[in-house]
């Protein structure tokens, strides 16, 4: 090894390379210029490679570029040494530089060949373009499929909503006989009381007693129509905490009148005041359907039992459940009927006696509420349908409506009030009530007539019915605001869904819910006039 390095060191004793060229200038400078240009090119290429690799951190196999840079620098250095040895015989250093160049070139070649298959696997720009085009096509296909799925879901939701609404109408239709009977009783109480008052108005105590009896009958009718309107409204499931026992107790009056005198209703309410996650109206409707089915199964009369009980936690119901049972003592169902009982439109009733939607609606309500429903029935022994729902924290108690304080009603000071209602009897009742309170009343049967009055007069306040032909109360209010800016407006509505009216008209809009008492009318009119800065009512 020492002898090897000794030979390299003695190379300076040799003649320079220019001597071999006989120092001919043409040969010498041709070599110099060519080697200089090659070296300059070799040294610039690694700079470009380093700039590329450091600027693109995502380049695969970046380390191979550093090997290329080292190899090319070594090659450039050999050309510089070729220029140097033309005048200086440092052949030992030239040999060492060539050894380094050889090592770099052989190493680069060794690692390069295995990388060729991997490099070929990297997509080319054309392949990337084609892949992006294919991906775009797939994305478009996916978007079209999603759009189609959304359309199908929307169509299914509309179909389900129509199914539920049809079932609601069927249930209301089932109640028609009992409701008609009940309303006849209410009308009898009201009409009889009014007739007795008209025949003998002399005794104030007697008149007051008869009037109170008529008002009580009217209040019963108000509650009944409220339930019917709630059952018939179109809506999606609104899941909220619902206290089960108060819900069942609130339905007993409606059920007893609807099922007839041949059906005895019993309750076994043992849920400890528990609440479930459900839509209150849909749960009421489900119980109503089960009660109607139970009635139909007891052709000769019988006992319908509604029971509630709390159950402990189990798989899928970490907070426990509440079971609501509806049992009848009717004819029961055979196993083959039980298997199909929840199928839509499946019914064992005769033509015109049912659509087969009742139990399917009960099943849908239970499942959409995160619960379950099951049937236990034996022929000749009756049927038990159990709805099991998730138990949740009890809802906050609704504040009891404040009763109006006893005392004289607030009266007017001759202010003009415009009353607009398409029902002549309602319009006359409101007009007579306001005139008795000391107001001057102008009335109209619709929007066009009301606008004609507003064009020439400036009432202190207006009362508009919300649902009227030709022009709704909301449309009339907008037109009236142009003619009489700042005029207070009160809306009167007989719809149960006053929440919809409040969203349409605005949360601060005063609404009288029909039927309303004279006291409610007097208080609200006085309050609105006070807000508007009208003379104080007495």
φ, ψ for residue 258 (rounded to 5)?
Answer: -85, -35
CA 306 to CA 310: how far, in whole Å?
Answer: 14
Crossing angle of helices 204-232 and 280-297, in 10° steps, is: 90
Quick one: DSSP state of residue 233?
-
pLDDT of 505: 57
Q: Say which residues have a Cβ less than 8 Å from residue 88's Cβ, sequence separation at least 6.
A: 12, 16
- CB-based contact 424:449 (threshold 8 Å): no
The three-point CA angle 304-306-311 to 5° equals: 145
Low pLDDT (below 50) residues in the chain? 233-235, 351-352, 400-401, 496-498, 536-538
Find out whether the peptide bond into 515 is cis, omega within 30 degrees of 0: yes
- CB-based contact 358:169 (threshold 8 Å): no
- Nearest alpha-carbon partner for 317 in 363, 366, 268, 248: 366
pLDDT of 409: 82
pLDDT of 70: 83
CA 263 to CA 297: how far, in whole Å?
Answer: 11
Give pLDDT tens digits for 366-418. Answer: 888 889 999 999 999 999 999 999 999 887 655 544 555 556 788 888 999 99
pLDDT of 528: 92
CA 377 to CA 331: how far, in whole Å?
Answer: 9
Q: What is the pTM of this model?
A: 0.46
Q: How many CB atoms lie within 10 A of CB 443?
A: 19
| CA-to-CA dists, residue 394 to 277, 314, 329, 369, 380, angstroms | 10, 20, 32, 16, 39
């Amino acid at each position: 090894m020492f002898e090897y390095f000794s030979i390299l060191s003695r190379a300076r004793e040799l003649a320079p390379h220019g001597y071999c060229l006989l120092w001919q200038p043409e040969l010498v400078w041709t070599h110099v210029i060519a080697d200089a240009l090659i070296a300059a090119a070799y040294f610039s290429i690694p700079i470009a490679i380093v700039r590329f690799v450091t600027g693109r951190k995502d380049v695969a196999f970046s380390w191979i570029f550093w090997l290329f840079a080292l190899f090319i620098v070594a090659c450039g250095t050999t050309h510089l040494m070729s220029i140097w040895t033309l005048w200086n015989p440092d052949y030992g250093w030239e040999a060492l530089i060539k050894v380094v160049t050889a090592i770099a070139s052989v190493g680069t070649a060794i690692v390069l060949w295995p990388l060729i298959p991997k490099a070929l696997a990297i997509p080319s720009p054309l392949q990337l373009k084609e892949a992006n085009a294919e991906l775009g096509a797939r994305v478009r296909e996916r978007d079209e499929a999603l759009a189609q799925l959304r359309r199908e879901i929307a169509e299914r939701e509309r179909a389900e909503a129509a199914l539920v609404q049809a079932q609601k109408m069927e249930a209301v239709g089932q109640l028609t006989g009992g409701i008609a009977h009940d309303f006849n009783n209410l009308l009898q109480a009201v009409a009889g009381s009014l007739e007795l008052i008209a025949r003998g108005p002399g005794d104030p105590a007697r008149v007051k007693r008869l009037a109170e009896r008529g008002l009580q009958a009217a209040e019963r009718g108000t509650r009944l129509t409220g339930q019917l309107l709630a059952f018939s409204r179109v809506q999606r499931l609104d899941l909220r905490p619902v206290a089960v026992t108060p819900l069942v107790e609130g339905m007993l009056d409606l059920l007893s009148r609807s099922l007839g005198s041949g059906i005895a209703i019993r309750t076994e309410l043992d849920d400890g005041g528990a609440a479930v996650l459900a839509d209150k109206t849909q749960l009421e409707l489900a119980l109503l359907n089960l009660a109607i089915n139970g009635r139909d199964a007891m052709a000769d009369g019988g006992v319908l039992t509604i029971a509630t009980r709390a159950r402990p936690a189990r798989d899928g119901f970490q907070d426990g459940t509440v079971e609501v049972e509806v049992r009848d003592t009717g004819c029961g169902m055979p196993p083959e009927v039980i298997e199909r009982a929840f199928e839509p439109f499946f019914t064992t009733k005769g033509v015109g006696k049912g659509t087969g939607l009742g139990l399917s609606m009960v099943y849908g309500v239970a499942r959409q509420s995160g619960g379950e429903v099951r049937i236990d029935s034996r022929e000749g022994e009756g049927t038990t349908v159990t709805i099991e729902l998730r138990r949740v924290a009890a809802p906050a108690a609704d504040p009891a409506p404040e009763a109006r304080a006893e005392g004289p009603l607030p009266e007017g000071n001759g202010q003009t009030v415009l009353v607009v209602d398409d029902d002549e009897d309602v319009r006359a009742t409101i007009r007579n009530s306001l005139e008795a309170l000391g107001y001057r009343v102008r009335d109209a049967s619709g929007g066009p007539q009301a606008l004609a009055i507003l064009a020439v007069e400036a009432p202190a306040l207006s009362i508009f019915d919300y649902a009227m032909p030709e022009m709704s109360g909301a449309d009339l209010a907008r037109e009236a605001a142009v003619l009489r800016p700042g005029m207070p407006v009160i809306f009167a509505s007989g719809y149960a869904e006053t929440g919809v009216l409040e969203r349409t008209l605005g949360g601060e809009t005063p609404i009288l819910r029909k039927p309303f008492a004279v006291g409610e009318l007097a208080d609200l009119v006085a309050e609105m006039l006070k807000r508007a800065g009208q003379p104080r009512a007495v």
